[in-house]
Structure 1
Amino acid sequence: MNQVDVLDIAHSALWVVLETSGPIMLAGLSIGLVIALFQALTTIQEMTLTFVPKIIVIFIAIIVFLPYMMNTLIEYSLTLFDRISVMG
């Protein structure tokens, strides 16, 4: 295994991390922006108002995107196992 192989595997691993965490992070970001806008417009500065909706939306996003995340991880794992078997 040379440096190019290691960098390619690291690049693929980082891309898979971004693909699997991206939808959940975007869901959390979007609900955070909506709540921040709501708080700015109504001047309600309740701390629990930010946490409960974020937890609910992130939980729903995990349930919705879990099949996509699992397929992405399985494809990456199979590709990585194939590369390991070819190198060995």
Structure 2
Amino acid sequence: MNEADALDLVNTAIWTVLVAAGPAVMAAMVVGILIALFQALTQIQEMTLTFIPKIIAVLGVAALTGSFMGSHIMAFTEEIYGRIAIGY
């Protein structure tokens, strides 16, 4: 394995992590912004108010996009095993 192969492998791994975690992170971010806006408008400063909706949103998005994330991770894993099988 040379430097180009290693960089390609790292690039693919980073892209896989971003694509797999992206929907859940975006859902948590959107819900967090909405809750922060709600707290700022109503002046309710309850710390637990932010966690429950975020957890529900992340679990919901993970349930909806789980097959997409799994297939993307599986494709990356098959590519890695294929490279191991041919020797680089």
TM-score tier by shorter-chain length is over 0.9
Q: Aligned residue for 1:74?
A: 74
Say how many residue pairs are matched.
88
Q: Aligned residue for 2:20?
A: 20
| Runs of 4+ displaced beyond 3 Å | none
**2: CA distance, partners of 1:62 / 1:20:** 10
**2: CA distance, partners of 1:53 / 1:77:** 32
Tell me the CA shift for residue 4 of structure 1. Answer: 0.7
Tell me the CA shift for residue 87 of structure 1. Answer: 2.4
**1: CA distance, partners of 2:47 / 2:23:** 25
TM-score for both structures, normalised by structure 1: 0.94
**1: CA distance, partners of 2:78 / 2:2:** 21
Query: What is the identity percentage for the equivalent residue pairs of Structure 1 and Structure 2?
Result: 41
**2: CA distance, partners of 1:19 / 1:51:** 23
Q: Aligned residue for 2:32?
A: 32
- Structure 1 residue identity aligned to 2:37: L
**1: CA distance, partners of 2:60 / 2:73:** 20
Secondary structure of the 2:50 match is helix
Gapped runs of 5+ residues in structure 1?
none
**1: CA distance, partners of 2:49 / 2:82:** 48
